Each structure stands twice: as structure tokens, then as C-alpha cells.
């Protein structure tokens, strides 16, 4: 025959700080706290291990960076040299083009000079062109200034000096300047 005890077990009570607790509930609560504590310790341990590995990897990378400092400095010097050479190439290209532009401008100026006007010298600088020449009459010189101003778009021709020697038979000597036209609204 088999015997079974079907009666409930008597409750064991534990008293803490004047509070009576069922020992079964206390045991389950303490077991739960122990599990939470164990999981927290395990998590903290794993994070600490991961952090140490990351710090080690960072130190290794810093060592690699320090070992390659001379290579980085050489690369920076090379990059600065390349930038300087590119700037020289751009300047050379602009100078090459400016020679062609100046040649076309000189040809236009030569083609715009009327028959009764002549040029003794034509000088080019960054600001424009300086012309020194003569004319048979003041009227022809005025027409030449209009033609010269129209010959180069965006530029204007202006007389700088005029010396009327028509009494001596030499005609009119002049100095003129062809420069960029002042933008509208600019102070003169």
C-alpha cells in the first residue's frame, strides 16, 4: 500500500526586523535576487572584458599610427607639392591663354585704327593697353577713339594726353588708354 500525505505542509515563518515572512516566499525572493545579481555580475564582467579588448585594440591602432607618422608626413608633403604644382599649372594655363587674348586684342586694335591715325607704340599691361601715336586732325582722332572703344567689348578707350601741333604740320600727337569699362554705379 502506498501512503500519500495530502495535508498541506505547515508554513514556516521567519521574522525580520519585526516583520514575519513566509520562509518559502522569502526563499523564492532571495533566489530571484541571487539570479538577478548573478546576471548583473555576468553582464558587468562581459562588458568589462569587451572594454578591455577595445582599449587594447585602440592602443594597437595608436601604435600603428605612431609607427606610420613619417609616412603621413611624407604624404602631407607630397599633397602640398601636388597642390603647388597644380597652382603652377593653372597659372601657366592662364598665362598661355592671356597671350592669345592679348594677341587678338592687339590685332583688333590695329584693325580699328583709321587710315588718318597712326600708332607709334602700343604697350600691354594687366590693366589694359597704352597707345601713343598721332593723327592728321583732331576729328580723325575722335573717330579713332570711338572705333578703338568698340573694337574691344567690355573696354573703353580714353584720351590721356593730346598735343595739337597742327600749326607745325605734324598733326595731333596723343596718348590713349584702353582699359576695362567701369561697372555701372561704380564711383569714378
pLDDT digits (tens, 9 = 90+) for 115-155: 888 899 988 887 788 999 988 888 888 888 888 888 888 88
Kindly state the cell numbers that stand for 32: 530571484
Q: What are phi and psi of 100, to 5 degrees?
A: -65, -40
| pTM recorded for the entire structure | 0.45
Give the model confidence (pLDDT) of 32-90 as tens digits: 999 999 999 999 999 999 999 999 999 999 999 899 999 989 999 999 999 999 999 88
| 143 class by beta-carbon count within 10 Å (0-12 exposed, 13-18 middle, 19+ buried) | middle
- The Cα–Cα gap between 173 and 135 comes to 6
Amino acid at each position: 500500500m502506498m501512503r500519500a500525505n495530502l495535508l498541506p505542509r505547515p508554513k514556516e515563518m521567519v521574522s525580520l526586523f519585526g516583520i514575519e515572512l513566509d520562509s518559502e516566499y522569502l526563499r523564492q525572493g532571495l533566489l530571484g535576487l541571487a539570479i538577478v545579481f548573478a546576471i548583473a555580475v555576468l553582464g558587468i564582467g562581459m562588458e568589462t572584458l569587451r572594454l578591455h579588448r577595445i582599449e587594447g585594440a585602440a592602443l594597437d591602432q595608436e601604435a600603428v599610427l605612431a609607427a606610420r607618422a613619417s609616412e603621413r608626413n611624407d604624404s602631407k608633403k607630397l599633397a602640398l607639392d601636388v597642390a603647388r604644382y597644380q597652382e603652377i599649372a593653372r597659372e601657366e594655363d592662364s598665362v598661355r591663354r592671356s597671350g592669345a587674348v592679348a594677341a587678338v586684342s592687339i590685332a583688333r586694335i590695329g584693325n580699328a585704327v583709321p587710315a588718318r591715325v597712326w600708332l607709334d607704340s602700343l604697350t600691354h599691361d594687366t590693366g589694359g593697353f597704352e597707345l601713343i601715336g598721332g593723327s592728321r586732325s583732331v576729328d580723325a582722332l575722335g573717330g579713332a577713339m570711338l572705333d578703338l572703344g568698340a573694337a574691344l567689348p567690355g573696354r573703353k578707350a580714353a584720351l590721356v594726353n593730346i598735343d595739337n601741333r597742327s600749326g607745325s604740320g605734324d598733326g595731333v600727337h596723343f596718348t590713349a588708354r584702353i582699359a576695362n569699362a567701369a561697372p555701372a554705379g561704380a564711383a569714378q
